[in-house]
Amino acid sequence: MTTYWCELAWLGGAGAEEGVLIEVEEGRIASVAGGTGASPPGAQRLNGLTLPGLANAHSHAFQRALRGRTQHGSGSFWTWRDQMYRVADRLDPDSYLALARATYAEMALAGVTSVGEFHYLHHGAGGTRYADDNEMGRALIAAAAEARVRITLIDCCYLHGGIGQPPEAAQRRFSDGSAEAWLDRVDALAEGQSVRIGAAIHSMRAVDPEAAAVVAGWAREHDRPLHAHVSEQPAENEACLDTYGRTPTALIADAGALEADFTAVHATHLEDGDVRLLGGAAACCCVCPTTERDLADGIGRMSRLADAGASLSLGSDSHAVIDLFEEARAVELDERLATRERGRHSAAGLLRAASGDGHACLGWPDAGRIEPRARADLVTVSLDSVRLAGWEPEQVLDSVVFAAGAPDVRHVLVDGNEVVRDGRHTTVEMPHELHEGIRRVVA
Ligand SMILES: [Zn+2]
């Protein structure tokens, strides 16, 4: 049994509690008691605000190599995608393992205890098969283990270069050829204590409705999280409406995918009927604001979805930055810009998206909350930096959500294991390994 005494902790309510004693045993929280005054003898003292583990619900680890290389110049999502494909083309299992391990270590340093890796880089260059069809996926699982974070490998079915089109050259690595071949490959991946295997429909551009139904059926049958990119771009809506007379969300509903364990990633350009469908199913919507702004995607109105009954989660997606505080506040601040109204999302609501609801959409309902029997993930944010000077206990959630940054995360516990101590990762040499991992895959 290890005992932690938190100066302040967020236990899921509207504000933070003072003097919270947390007992941890065998990777789980054994007890939680607030209002304990001073740190008792033998307890490890956690100064600052302690949060539950954060979930990065949408990641493409290899895109970390693009940071700083694709921000300049003009263009659109589609020109960015060409640059992204060039990096994807250079990766092999070894270089991907090194890059992903360091990228996940960067996440751990930012307080992320579970990552949802939306994985479509399945095969070798040009589509040639590795000896093990899951070699790239297994590299990602190993990377997460070495960075000491949990992973949900959201294995993605990707079949077409666009509706009715074969994969383009760079996309051949992504395609299994058919939904049945996707299913055979995914069936060979095993789950573990820190590994879940989920399913993804890349998008209704890259997966036809029949194949989408196969993927959804597999997820249902095996009780796995199911994710899809939904309406990130108006062009995706137009293509679906032109071909099928249905929006991407409606097509996903037709495929039998729309249930509470479904996560719509982005959900930026929705029609009112789409909002009703997602809300009515109590689905999750994973918003990735720093990527959406980087790619000029547009602003999703997340409060509409929350009001309709959907839950929200957050992802750093292309990793233009890895900072869940920035993602969280952007949900509210971007909506202010779009609507010229303030205060649709509370700090506690945004933290819930970053922690418990994010974990739930990745298939970890017992993580992301500080309560007895939950997985012992604790993220302690220092309140000592210049960014947070002047904080008061009553408003500390607002201070942290609207002004803290990833560098304010000082200590991170994952399943009771100390992964970050005093702002340093305990096993991965950072930033050196990340720098080297990126240099291997960029020209
Ligand atoms: Zn994505």
- Cα of 118 vs centre of ligand 1, distance in Å, is 7
415-432 residue pLDDT tens = 999 999 999 999 999 999
In the reported structure, the alpha carbon of residue 295 is separated from the centroid of ligand 1 by a whole-number distance in angstroms of: 12
Reported as a single tens digit per residue, the pLDDT across 289-346 is: 999 998 888 999 899 999 999 999 999 999 999 999 999 999 999 999 999 999 999 9
Q: How far is the CA of 422 from the centre of ligand 1 (A)?
A: 31
Count of CB atoms situated within 10 Å of the CB of 420: 24
Q: Which among 133, 208, 317, 408 is annotated as catalytic?
A: 317
Question: What distance in angstroms lies between residue 232's CA and the mean position of ligand 1's atoms?
Answer: 9
Tokens of 268: 């930026």
Give the Å distances, CA to CA, from 396 to 45, 112, 381, 392: 19, 20, 11, 6
- Is 317 a catalytic site residue? yes
Mean pLDDT for the stretch of residues 66-76 = 81
Residue tagged active-site, from 123, 229, 266, 411 = 266
- 7 CA distance to ligand 1 centroid (A)? 37
Query: 391-398 contacts: CB < 8 A, separation 24 or more?
Result: 393/8, 393/15, 393/16, 393/18, 394/15, 396/8, 396/15, 396/16, 396/49, 397/10, 397/14, 397/15, 397/16, 397/49, 397/347, 397/348, 397/351, 398/347
Give pLDDT tens digits for 88-117: 888 999 999 999 999 999 999 999 999 999
> Measured in angstroms, how far is the CA atom of residue 121 from the centroid of ligand 1?
12
List, for residues 403-414, the tens digit of each pLDDT value. Answer: 999 999 999 999
